[in-house]
Amino acid sequence: MPWVRSGECCRCGQCCRGGIDGLPEQSDGACPYLKAEQDGERLCAIHDTTDTYWSRGCNTWPSVPHHIKDYDRCTYKFEWVM
């Protein structure tokens, strides 16, 4: 893949939409690990679990800049390499 991602997940939860294989999504289509905070914000909680899904998908998503183009809080950066 010519895109190389750098950075760490900031737990903003903006790219956490759609169900995870084998887990039901929330009523609004969000990942079940996107947990509500007291201020109404929702943050990723998979980092606080031992769920094996972490090694199967979240660690590689997003994989291209297009995945986060509309997410202003995401801190991942991408570089095109050949």
pLDDT in tens, 14-52: 777 655 555 666 666 667 777 777 777 777 777 666 666
Distances (CA, A) of 67 to 27, 42, 63, 77: 22, 19, 7, 11
Distances (CA, A) of 73 to 1, 29, 76: 24, 19, 9
> Percentage of residues in the chain with pLDDT exceeding 70?
68
**What integer pLDDT is reported at residue 11 of this predicted model?**
75
Place of tokens 């991602």: 5
Query: Rounded CA gap, 54 and 60, in Å?
Result: 9
Query: Rounded CA gap, 29 and 65, in Å?
Result: 22
Q: What range does the domain containing 30 cover?
A: 3-80
- Give the total number of structural domains in the chain: 1
